[in-house]
Amino acid sequence: MTYPGLLITFEGGEGAGKTTLIERLYEALQTQGVPALKTYAPGGTQVGAEIRQLLLHTKKGSLSMRCELLLYLADRAQHTEELLLPALKQGKIILCDRFHDSTLAYQGVARGFSRPFVKELCSFAAQGLQPDLTLYLDLDPEVGFQRTTRAGKIKDRIESEELSFHHKIRSAFKEIAQEEPSRFLLLDASKSPQDVFLFAKEKIDALISARR
């Protein structure tokens, strides 16, 4: 189904700069007078915030892989129903930090579940909703963790996984980029924040113009 608004999602490993990029793009859209919404997953709703607490801050090893997957899907279902679909129907440009592709990469490839199976579950949870555009900030996981360490960030349960886990995730994202090049765009996150911002803004502006 096509909605008046657009769903633009952002993916990337730890320290890639998604949060900073989304904030700058949101401010730019507001300056242009474009109705926009920034949100994130898991945790974009009140229910999602409680799920996020379980997913990211429960003691490592205490959640089974199936439980983890289903919690992410529960967050997706609530996020879609409560926030995303209403905003799309209102014609808003949604900037969402993580969506289906993270689930496919983290819970599908890195955790060993079948990607087609996880993809079907994601579609069910989100009522068939798919991103209009996905911007993936690609960065070597080692560089990403060096950034977060310098920033003084404490690792959550997912970030505390072995480095090999995060390399699997990066490989999974690159596979998605090869399979869906028109929807899933790769940005070199080792470049300056300004360069990344300008590239992302150009793509988003073009998408908005194409819809008018």
The answer to whether residue 1 is domain-embedded is no
The answer to whether residue 19 is domain-embedded is yes
127 lies in which domain range? 7-211
The answer to whether residue 2 is domain-embedded is no
**Which residue type does 5 have?**
G
Q: Which residues contact 56 (CB under 8 A, 6 or more apart)?
A: 42, 156, 157, 158
pLDDT reported for residue 211: 82
Could you read off the pLDDT tens digit of each residue along the chain, which spans 212 residues? 788 999 999 999 989 999 999 999 999 999 999 999 999 999 999 999 999 999 999 988 889 999 999 999 999 999 999 999 999 999 999 999 999 999 999 999 999 999 999 999 999 999 999 999 999 999 999 999 999 888 888 888 998 899 999 999 999 999 999 999 999 999 999 999 999 999 999 999 999 999 87
The answer to whether residue 69 is domain-embedded is yes
Take residue 174 and report the two structure tokens written for it: 């690159």
The answer to whether residue 101 is domain-embedded is yes
The answer to whether residue 74 is domain-embedded is yes
CA gap 210, 110 in Å, rounded: 36
Please report, for the domain that includes residue 56, its CATH number. 3.40.50.300
Count of domains forming the chain: 1
The answer to whether residue 126 is domain-embedded is yes
pLDDT reported for residue 126: 98
The predicted model scores a pTM of 0.95
Q: Helix %, strand %, coil % for the chain, to 5? A: 55, 15, 30
CA gap 25, 95 in Å, rounded: 8
pLDDT reported for residue 60: 81
